């Protein structure tokens, strides 16, 4: 495993930012790390990157323990924090040379040009960092995280504030990188997770509340939603009495969203009720749950 987290807790006084967290990531996996603000995402990422020590538990990166082999772990990890740590007065190549020097890398010039090409900075490479757009600054941040060829890449909100074109470019770049490395990606954008990630880990109030693939996560939840449109209004009391129905939402005249237990077969019963009352059904379909729906149900 590229990342192994076992029983990790982090306390600030009496408050537990992380509470016995367990998960692991394999090589070549892109994992979305989700949670509401204050759930413990950034704290966990800082622990993995050796920026913060845990209060309890163990973390291994590429087989190295963060306590026993901290320097080796840092060499294996590329980290792009939410606040991109750039020097606006430096030229792009100058900054990357500075980062390469910190890692004591050889062939700096070749590595810098390789990174510029990898992250698509060719057009802007002659500029100072303070002169380029936020999208290109994110590319510079990715270049500094990748320049030492780490096994693990940790990205905290890497696409925050980008326009749609920049979003697509950065997402494509992350997918490309993820084919060779392990990527742990924190974001609040659910469409991004569905577009990029193989797996999702959701944390809430310092505890892991879900860990599975996107498709499995959406199927595992214990409720269904059914959308019904009719030419006249259905009898809501009769619908509520159908076995398995949990909630009825009146969206607009003649249109209902019916929340039911997973496995409950309510379609035929709704059709029968409509027929009894002489009501024509214009649409009856199961509504696919989004990752955002699942996220809300797990974190509210």
How does pLDDT run across 264-281, given as a tens digit for each residue?
A: 888 899 999 888 888 888
- Residue 293: φ, ψ to 5°: -60, -45
Q: What was the pLDDT predicted at 222?
A: 61
Q: What percent of the chain has pLDDT over 70?
A: 98
- Closest to 59 in 3D by CA, of 196, 144, 198, 154: 154
Q: What was the pLDDT predicted at 62?
A: 93
Q: What was the pLDDT predicted at 40?
A: 93
- N residues, the chain: 300
Residue 62's DSSP bridge partners are none
Q: What was the pLDDT predicted at 230?
A: 87
182-186/152-156 β-pairing: parallel
Q: What was the pLDDT predicted at 148?
A: 95
* CA–CA–CA angle 33, 53, 49 (5° rounding): 50
Tell me, letter by letter, the H, E, C secondary structure of the chain.
Answer: CCEEEEEEEEEECCEEEEEEEEEEECCCCEEEEECCCCCCHHHHHHHHCCCCCCCEEEEEECCEECCCCHHHHHHHEEEECCCCCCCCCCEHHHHHHHHHHHCCCCCHHHHHHHHHHHCCCHHHCCCEHHHCCHHHHHHHHHHHHHCCCCCEEEEECCCCCCCHHHHHHHHHHHHHHHCCCEEEEECCCHHHHHHHCCEEEEEECCEEEEEECHHHHHHHCCEEEEEEEECCCCCHHHHHCCCCEEEEEEEECCEEEEEEECCCCCHHHHHHHHHHCCCCEEEEEEECCCHHHHHHHHHC
Q: What was the pLDDT predicted at 257?
A: 86
Asked whether 181 and 153 are in contact (CB, 8 A), the reply is yes
Query: How many beta carbons lie within 10 A of that of residue 75, not counting itself?
Result: 18
Sheet holding 182-186, edge to edge: 77-80, 152-156, 182-186, 30-34, 199-204, 207-212
Domain 221-299 fold = Alpha-Beta Plaits (3.30.70)
What pTM, to 2 d.p., does this model score?
0.78
Q: What was the pLDDT predicted at 166?
A: 78
Q: What was the pLDDT predicted at 221?
A: 59
Domain 3-218 fold = Rossmann fold (3.40.50)
Residue ranges of the chain whose pLDDT lies below 50? none
Residue extents of the structural domains in the chain: 3-218, 221-299
């Amino acid at each position: 495993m590229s990342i192994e987290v076992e029983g990790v807790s982090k306390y600030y006084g009496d408050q537990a930012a992380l509470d016995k967290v367990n998960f692991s990531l394999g090589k070549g996996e892109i994992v979305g790390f989700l949670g509401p603000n204050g759930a413990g995402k950034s704290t966990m990422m800082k622990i993995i990157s050796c920026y913060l020590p845990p209060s309890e538990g163990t973390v291994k990166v590429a087989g190295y323990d963060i306590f026993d082999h901290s320097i080796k772990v840092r060499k294996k990890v590329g980290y792009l924090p939410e606040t991109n740590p750039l020097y606006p007065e430096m030229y792009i190549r100058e900054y990357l040379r500075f980062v390469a020097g910190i890692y004591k890398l050889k062939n700096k010039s070749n590595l810098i040009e390789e990174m510029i090409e990898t992250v698509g900075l060719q057009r802007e490479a002659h500029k100072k960092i303070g002169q380029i757009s936020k999208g290109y600054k994110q590319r510079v941040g990715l270049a500094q995280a990748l320049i030492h060829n780490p096994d693990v890449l940790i990205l905290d909100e890497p696409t925050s504030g980008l326009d749609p074109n920049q979003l697509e470019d950065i997402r494509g770049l992350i997918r490309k990188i993820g084919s060779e490395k392990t990527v742990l990606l924190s974001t609040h954008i659910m469409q991004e997770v569905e577009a990029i990630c193989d797996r999702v880990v959701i944390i809430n109030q310092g505890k892991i509340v879900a860990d599975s693939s996107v498709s499995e996560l959406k199927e595992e939840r214990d409720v269904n939603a059914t959308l019904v449109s009719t030419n006249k209004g259905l009898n809501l009391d009769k619908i509520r009495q159908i076995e398995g129905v949990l909630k009825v939402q009146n969206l607009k005249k003649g249109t209902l969203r019916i929340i039911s237990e997973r496995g409950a077969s309510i379609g035929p019963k709704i059709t029968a009720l409509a027929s009894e009352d002489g009501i024509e059904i214009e649409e009856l379909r199961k509504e696919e749950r989004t990752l955002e729906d699942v996220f809300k149900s797990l974190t509210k």
